Structure 1
């Protein structure tokens, strides 16, 4: 297989260890990788390899193969990553080497603007271009109004409406994915990612189910997987994410709330908290209708979450350093005792 169809570029040759062949990770499960190499699809073992950020191979990664063993993860050009659920804030790479992140939500039950904002904040941090895809357009009474509402809340991000049932709008999504270009679909359970994946792939690659009686989505995709599209693009289908922690860099938050950040530049005080301070540019924007106050509230909430996350990471780093020093002292005492 010509690996350029999978996104391989000539400049990556220098990244390959000597005597190795490149392959792209299609799926990760049970300590083994399903990869696409020039010779075809293979199941390979992993030799405890890590990317430069300390995480293991992820769907979309390029790995170096030596026989049936993956011995290295090549440098990532982009990665959609989240802080894993729980108290540790460990980084979890959802998909790597993406050109586009499709933030998927549904045009039924009203726009979930705060949820879309969170996904966009993580998507902007990935290094790929975010696009909002609103599914189930055939079930929406006023698609134009719904798209405009989301577009106002997602500055600088294209917003597309599609119907996987009728095919409306799918061409605009396919246009994003030419040969060798990779997209990942991310979103909550039940928003139509599996139906969209099937429609884009032209075949059933993911199971679909209806919404539960309580209105919550069902997990129909159980593992991340990279699919080759008929037009030559690549699509990563991901399970629904009920928890999506922000990456630690905070850059995505600035881009997702670019309007709030821009209004803040006109504040009279540099340390303005946008509450009751005189000369607040953000408050002025809310007063004259240029900014939805709900966006300011959401921005503050995610900033607070990011701050708490960083505190946890710092605490973990301090704890790991203390443990390292204790182990070094213990080893020193044991060496001293043996030498007597």
Structure 2
């Protein structure tokens, strides 16, 4: 049976709001939490981007739910050795309830130090080397590494959790799914694509967990919910690799002018139809996902949690 989690969108909400949502998610009966790791929001309208490692420490104090990053790019903005220390401490402060979701990232967040943004194949290569470094450091042993992309010299983590932090590798195409199967403890992808899940499992993933999810906009007035999504998250509908290569919120705002409200209405679960919400979430379980995360867009958070606690989660679990 799939587990159902809540997605904390750090691009849209303040630290205090994210903590309130985490508490509400646990009270509503969600099983787990995921949180995004961004330096910038996608657009200025979203307007937030707290530091994820500070948020994980705070989450550990207000909820007992497991927390996964959705996802951290451990290759450019922070060196893998620094990410390893952050993940190890997160594992300790959460009592082994932290899972490290990693991916190849977006220029939006990773170009900020002036580094060249690599091509997709190079980013996958860097991610594989980064995962190797992080795993070695999480053992608590001294590590020296001289690879194609990274150097680590006489590094040792002295604060490590009792259990190894699981590393879940994100991907949206067959190459990334195969990498996740080869080097990951799990796979993260955001569409209910059974073919990608199969690629992961055939490439070494076996019965390891597959995680993913969607954003919705609960609201009594469906038209108003559509407008909220169009205002806050039109970037979900940008095609191809734009999400990986555009460098600033201003560029995403420019590209998002091409996204219509009709596209949002067709592509997002909006309103208060329990059948529509349940179908969209259960599509992930049907595609072979083990954990499905749902994020509520906009300010109607308490209404969303009441709706999912009373209507959607019971229906999903009964099915």
**TM-score scaled by structure 1?**
0.27
Structure number having the greater helix percentage: 2
* Structure of greater Rg: 1
Q: Relative contact order (alpha carbons < 8 A, sep ≥ 6): 1 or 2 greater?
A: 2
Structure number having the greater strand percentage: 1
**TM-score scaled by structure 2?**
0.28
